[in-house]
Structure 1
Amino acid sequence: MGKGATSTLVTKGRGAGLATVSGPTEPPSSGEGYRDYGVNPFVTAAEDRLSTFAVDVDTASYTLARRKLLDAELPPKEAVRVEEFLNYFRYTYPAPTASDGPLAVHLDAAPSPYTPGRYLLRVGVQGRRLSVSERKPAHLTFLVDVSGSMQSPDRLPLAKRALRMLVDNLRDGDTVALVTYAGNVRRVLPPTGLEHKARIHSAIEDLSAGGSTAMASGIELAYQEAMKTLDGASVSRVVILSDGDANVGATSHEDILKTLRGHVKEGITVTTVGFGMGNYQDTMMEQLADQGNGNHYYVDSLMAARRIFQEQLGGTLEVIAQDVKLQVEFDPKQVARYRLVGYENRDIADRDFRNDRVDAGEIGSGHTVTALYELELKPGAGAGLATVRVRAKRPRGESATERTYAFPAGALARTFPEASADLRFATAVMGAAELLRRSPHAERWSLESVRDIARAATPAGNAEREEFLTLLERARPLLRGVAAR
């Protein structure tokens, strides 16, 4: 995809055959690359009782929107992915038991505070958190964009600080390799153990920006380095730090993704970390992580880097379940209509749920996944209104195992204020994302009600949620300006 290009999908994701609903069209910021995946429609349960999608634990969309709002600018609606807003925040889901395996599922629901007569169903997945002693050795290859577009303080200088932080949180037995790309590619550091931490820090510190961008060639060299330490007893991951721009060599979106797909089966995963504004290629970075069986983050500050590379390092580095698919089956006797809010680019055809050759999402150590459905229920709905099936492979496994979870009788709150604080806060996050992407389903919703819901579900001292309240205040005049046009 070229700079500033967008494309609008008019079918539901990967072949399920349902039309999406599009909201008002507004161009993305000049020079930046986003893709419009549409908005999921309501589905009649009697006609199609199954909703199937791949999990997503990316968070880039939220931090990118935060950067825009703090700069007094609305994020392009194409940049707002509801699932990445939801999955940025921490929720208290029960940890998996020994019988659960690596994942546990939590279900709850409540009347919607936005639309009278509708309900919200939350599907929460909690990944098992590995202890420090359980974490496998990590062999990381840093692929750093040092092209001229990375010169500003919020790009390469911030990326260098993030990498130094990551190195300081690694341990004995881990290794680091460093590859850079600009007009050409360079092997700066071969795989180097943490006993040579000073050498690693020095190599990072010496990086400087200048030149054009040969991303595809950089990916090839990074994989060559990663292959040197690949074995069945450790984690091998390429960490790409870039603004996603590419203008030398195989620069088309599809050509670069093809380069990546050729290496995925070798067992090397990818983390993409985006930096900068103005020419940021969100679609490229998100799809690199998707095709590379990894996660996509956007770093707008040292705080964001600390969250990824220090506080949540285990989940960033180590996959505990791969090709994770969720299938929600709605009981047509209890559910009239439903819609999945978000996950438009993670849709999987219902027939492919048990097809283990179909790629899906990955969950890292301690990761959580949250999805919200908007429902129209029939009288007397309750226990069994939905059944969730989770299908996942062990890391590098060939066949998946499947578990089933039925909606329990006590999980439906009588009123929204009686719902758990976590469900209420997730409802606020979803509402904000729907308004920011100008979803046609949210035309009668208000940011004021979103703010009130979030405030009531934010305990004192919760900095993550308090920051969200601040962003809502930043968004209010900007959204009013859009509505007035």
Structure 2
Amino acid sequence: MKQENITAWALDELSEEEKAQIEALLKDDAETQALASHTKDFCQFLTAELGTDSLTLNADQRERLEKADLQLLESSAEPPPTQAKPQPSWWRRHALVNLSAAAAVVLGTTVLIRQQMEQEQITEGQVMSYVQPGGEELRKQDATAVDDEMLLSRAAPVPMEAPKPASPQTESDQRRDITLGFAKNEAFSDSYTGSTEGSKDSPALRPQSQNMTDLAAAAAPAKPASPPPPPPVAAALGDSSMMATLSGSGTVSGRMSMSAGAASTEMMQRVGAGQLGNDDLETNGRLSPPVVGLLFGNRRDTETYTAITENRLTDVLREPLSTFSIDVDTASYANVRRFLNQNTRPPRDAVRVEELINYFPTDEDGPAANAKEPFAVKVEMAASPWQPAHRLARIAIKGKQIGKDRQPSNLVFLVDVSGSMGEPNKLPLVQQSLRMLAEQLGENDRVSMVTYAGGTQVVLASTSGQQKAEIMAAIDRLNSGGSTHGSAGIRLAYEQAVAGFIKGGVNRVILCSDGDFNVGISDPTELETFITEKARSGVFLSVLGYGQGNLHDRTMETLADKGNGNYAYIDSLSEARKVLVEQMNGTLVTIAKDVKIQVEFNPAIIRSYRLIGYENRLLAKEDFNDDTKDAGEIGAGHSVTALYELVPANLPPGTEPRPAVDALKYQPTAPAAEPAAPAGDAAGEALTVKLRYKEPEGSTSQLIEVPVKDDDRALDQAGQEFQFTAAVAGFGLLLRESSYAGTLTWEQVRQRALAGKGSDPLGYRGEFIQLIEKARGLSR
């Protein structure tokens, strides 16, 4: 028996049927039974010890931490006294509890220090001076061409003992001019190129490219054995955390890359799209060798999300029709998971409920083999878990599977290799993702690759999918550096796709980026127009988002929506495998485009309704029959689900929702019209679901119509898929702190998810149940 099954049993994460199966197996295996018993005891211990823990500081803890941090930031040059190490006997008995408490303190301290740094603003465009003990003051220098949005802030200097020179130095030897030139602040790479004037103690640097860790050794004289390094000389730079060490004498001129480093005495935080201009930043000063310079910048979070205003309850008599475009994007779920795994609540606008729901493949049947429609439609109604007197209507669409015999494909990998993509969870993860996709390609597939940064280039001409060595070599050669000329890259990628167009095949551009387009087309409206025009050529677009801190989710979503494609966020290698391997056909092969849904509600049965999610996919009712209006696409095997919350017309007295507008006092109000009696065979129908779609290369839409009756089913009587969908929707409502969450609790969400978990062969639903626990802990 697998250890994860035992753990799930011990944590009570299994359905009743699964629990019974596990317990039956345990009866026949004494050794496994003992292991399971110990596991359950340990889980109960954890629950008891950590059940009341919270990451939230109380008022007393916060006050003490703030005082401690302020003392640290304002400390003098005297090092803090060493305190006696406490005896660890209590720690041995309560290791787990102490570890949790320590983590909470570290988290709180980090946040408070960062807030303190941001509060102390310094004159814009200025690099601060620093006085070395035993040395001379570095002159203040102005950074030229600094963007208006640049802010400088300062932390207290870290006191260090000044070094003593190994031997007397001349004026020229002691003086050092450092010029750091950056075409853009994103233009950091992994190497340094430059030259120095040699001296008797410091050999000249030859023009070369070398790792930053070797830079100090190349420029420095022999180090004294005992003195510690001198105070850091700090220059405020850039968009990312960075550190460099310099030592020796002479004049260095060139481009220097940065690697992750520790906090320094000077900080600059980049706000919005601010950048460090196109000119050089010069720091000139008299330094006693050996000298260490720290260059450090602290990235400010610049992630952007489209603002979401939740759909409201709408009166059926006033608006009997609800119309929207389907959405197969799943990026929001992976992004939310990233936040929760980092013990952070996601921003409200990062939580798009429909994308949370559509992340999970459903165990439902697609269309029959001989069906002319490319997907099957199923509608189910049951009670709402957060408003028991209300009803939920679940509309589920399941696309047909196409098997392994898919059409030939013409794929263009469009890869952002700008400086902002240099982090481990960006370009390196992109390379791993594309390698996995390339492994799935065959003789009927062709792939090319375009990169963009400050400029664009074709790094792989159209190549057969069988030539994997060439494809892998091109992927391996990718490296980051430069600004982000996204529009030029998109234009070149579409040119490549059109040049290799396969009639009747899959023609698609796959964009891999963090969405930080700062050269060329950057405005979402311009992007919409450009991508919409290109989509008419028959080349569709898949967008894969990477990274954190400056993820431009709004831009990525816009590109995918207007490019007749889908948007996924890749936060891990396992997510890349899900999108590009397990669901490859759904990602690449479109079976229906411009799919719209229109629901008509019967006012005799339904008083009001609310569409949950899809806020940025709403359409006018006239758009449903207008074949010129763009809508969403469905890929092979895709599952698409929509939920409506419904207020019945026959609610018991006193339970009716508050009217949207109070009755007028000074003039008569026309009485509300009585709903007309449903005609003929429509009697008893609560609603009718209509869908329109086009074939992938068609221009005329087809209509599907599904009438629905409410059989007054209780929530516990609903199917597994209904219950799991309700759990995911409730999860999103609680994360968004929605006013429509009603009486819902995290425990109710968990129980509903367990009831709807099913067989879960890929483990996605089990992972979701774990995320519920993380979200609950962060909500205390």
TM-score higher than 0.5: yes
Task: State the distance in 2 between where 1:461 and 1:445 align.
Answer: 25
Task: State the distance in 2 between where 1:476 and 1:84 align.
Answer: 20
Structure 1 residues 385 and 404: alpha-carbon distance in aligned structure 2, compared to 1, 3 A threshold: same
2:739 maps to 440
Q: CA deviation at 1:191?
A: 1.1
Match of 1:288 among 539, 550, 559: 559
> Which has more radius of gyration?
2
Structure 1 residues 460 and 325: alpha-carbon distance in aligned structure 2, compared to 1, 3 A threshold: closer
2:171 maps to none
Match of 1:188 among 456, 459, 465: 459
Match of 2:576 among 297, 305, 319: 305
Structure 1 residues 46 and 281: alpha-carbon distance in aligned structure 2, compared to 1, 3 A threshold: same
**1:320 pairs with 2:591:** yes
Q: CA deviation at 1:248?
A: 1.6
1:107 maps to 379
Q: Which amino acid aligns with 1:318?
A: V
Match of 1:344 among 608, 615, 621: 615
Task: State the distance in 2 between where 1:431 and 1:382 align.
Answer: 32
Structure 1 residues 105 and 4: alpha-carbon distance in aligned structure 2, compared to 1, 3 A threshold: farther
Q: CA deviation at 1:325?
A: 0.4
TM-score of the superposed pair, with normalisation by structure 2: 0.57
1:153-187 CA-to-partner distances (Å, cap 9, x unmatched) read 11110110000100111221101110001111111
Q: CA deviation at 1:383?
A: 4.9
Q: Is the 8 A contact 2:391 2:645 kept in 1?
A: yes
Q: Which amino acid aligns with 2:745?
A: S
Compare 226-235 and 359-368 and name the one that shifted more. 226-235
Task: State the distance in 2 between where 1:143 and 1:94 align.
Answer: 35
Structure 1: stretches of 5+ with no match in the other structure: 6-28, 481-485
Compare 258-267 and 361-370 and name the one that shifted more. 258-267
2:687 maps to 386
Match of 1:403 among 684, 699, 704: 704
Q: Is the 8 A contact 2:750 2:769 kept in 1?
A: yes
1:19 maps to none
**1:179 pairs with 2:480:** no
Task: Kindly report which structure 2 residues correspond to 1:21-420, keeping only aligned pairs within 5 A, or say none.
Answer: 30-97=301-368, 98-133=370-405, 135-379=406-650, 383-408=684-709, 412=711, 414-420=713-719
Q: CA deviation at 1:102?
A: 0.5
DSSP 3-state at the match of 1:376 = strand
Task: State the distance in 1 between where 2:642 and 2:425 align.
Answer: 32
Q: Is the 8 A contact 1:334 1:382 kept in 2?
A: no
DSSP 3-state at the match of 1:407 = strand
Q: Which amino acid aligns with 1:122?
A: R
Q: Which amino acid aligns with 1:374?
A: E
Q: Which amino acid aligns with 1:110?
A: A
Q: Which amino acid aligns with 1:476?
A: R
DSSP 3-state at the match of 1:277 = coil
Q: CA deviation at 1:254?
A: 2.4
Task: State the distance in 1 between where 2:316 and 2:500 align.
Answer: 49
Task: State the distance in 1 between where 2:628 and 2:548 align.
Answer: 37
1:15 maps to none
Tell me how large the CA RMSD over aligned residues is.
1.9
**1:456 pairs with 2:755:** yes
1:21 maps to none
1:438-471 CA-to-partner distances (Å, cap 9, x unmatched) read 2221154222211121122224665111100111
Q: CA deviation at 1:384?
A: 1.9
Task: State the distance in 1 between where 2:301 and 2:528 align.
Answer: 24
Q: CA deviation at 1:34?
A: 0.5
TM-score of the superposed pair, with normalisation by structure 1: 0.90
The number of equivalent residue pairs is 453
1:291-321 CA-to-partner distances (Å, cap 9, x unmatched) read 1000000001111011111111111111010
Q: Which amino acid aligns with 2:404?
A: V
DSSP 3-state at the match of 1:195 = coil
Q: Structure with the greater relative contact order (CA < 8 A, sep ≥ 6): 1 or 2?
A: 1
1:9-47 CA-to-partner distances (Å, cap 9, x unmatched) read xxxxxxxxxxxxxxxxxxxx9300111121000011122
Q: Which amino acid aligns with 2:346?
A: P
1:238-272 CA-to-partner distances (Å, cap 9, x unmatched) read 00000000112222222333332221111110000
Structure 1 residues 257 and 46: alpha-carbon distance in aligned structure 2, compared to 1, 3 A threshold: closer
**1:469 pairs with 2:741:** no
DSSP 3-state at the match of 1:125 = strand
DSSP 3-state at the match of 2:466 = helix
Task: State the distance in 1 between where 2:347 and 2:442 align.
Answer: 40
Structure 2: stretches of 5+ with no match in the other structure: 1-269, 274-299, 652-681
Structure 1 residues 229 and 461: alpha-carbon distance in aligned structure 2, compared to 1, 3 A threshold: closer
Task: State the distance in 2 between where 1:257 and 1:111 align.
Answer: 40
Task: State the distance in 1 between where 2:454 and 2:518 align.
Answer: 9
DSSP 3-state at the match of 2:467 = helix
Q: CA deviation at 1:214?
A: 0.5
Q: CA deviation at 1:3?
A: 7.9
